[in-house]
Amino acid sequence: MQRRQVMQAGGLLALGAAMRPAWAHHGWSSFDQDRPIYLEGRAVSVAWRNPHAELVLEVPERLALPGDLATRPVPAQTAGVDGPALLAKAVVPNRRDRRWEIELAPMFRLGLWQVPEIRAGQALSMVGFTFKEEKGDPLVRVEYLFLEGKAYGLRSSPA
C-alpha cells in the first residue's frame, strides 16, 4: 500500500508541475528591439536555473525613467549592440501591470558577466524588450541589467 501512495504522490507532483504556467525560452527575434523599455522594482520571486534565469519583478505604481538613464555607462558586448543609443531610446511601458515576468540570460552567460545571484526582495532595474505582439502576461527579455551599482549586458558575452 505504501508503494501505491508514493506513486500517486509522484503523479500529483508531475501533474502540478505540468499545470504551472511555463516560461518558455524565447529567441531575440520574438521581441520588439525597436522599442526598448525601462523597468525597475523589486524581485518578488527568482528562478536561478537553466536554461536561463527568470524572475518576477514588482514595479512601482508610478514608474518613471530615471534622469540619468541615457548617460549610464554600459559594458561592451560581443554582439553589435549600441548601448548608449538603446538607453537613450528607452521608454516606460504602456502597460500598467505591476508585476512583470523577466527573462535574463542563460546561466553560462550570467557567469561570464559575473552577475551575482539575484534574491527575492532585491532592488534592480533593466532595459529590455517586450514581445512584438503584446498578448498575455507582461514579459521582458533583458538587454541591460542594473544591479548593485553595476551594469551587465546580457545579449552576448563581455567584449
- Domain-by-domain residue ranges, the chain? 24-153
Q: Which of 145, 98, 156 is nearest to 118 (CA)?
A: 145
User: In this structure, is the dihedral angle defined by the CA atoms of residues 132, 134, 136 and 141, taken in order, positive or negative?
Assistant: positive
Is the pLDDT reported for residue 2 higher than 90?
Answer: no
Least reliable range by pLDDT among 19-23, 103-107, 109-113? 19-23
Cβ neighbours for 13, distance < 8 A, ≥ 6 positions apart = none
Predicted confidence at residue 139, as pLDDT, reads 85
CATH topology for 24-153 is OB fold (Dihydrolipoamide Acetyltransferase, E2P) (2.40.50)
C-alpha cell at 130: 517586450
148: Cα within 13 Å, side-chain hemisphere: 8
Predicted confidence at residue 33, as pLDDT, reads 78
Amino acid in the structure at residue 155: R
Tell me the per-residue pLDDT of 76-94, one tens digit each, with 9 for 90 and over: 999 989 999 999 999 999 8
Tell me the per-residue pLDDT of 106-135, one tens digit each, with 9 for 90 and over: 999 999 999 999 999 999 999 998 876 666
The Cα 51–Cα 36 span in angstroms is 23
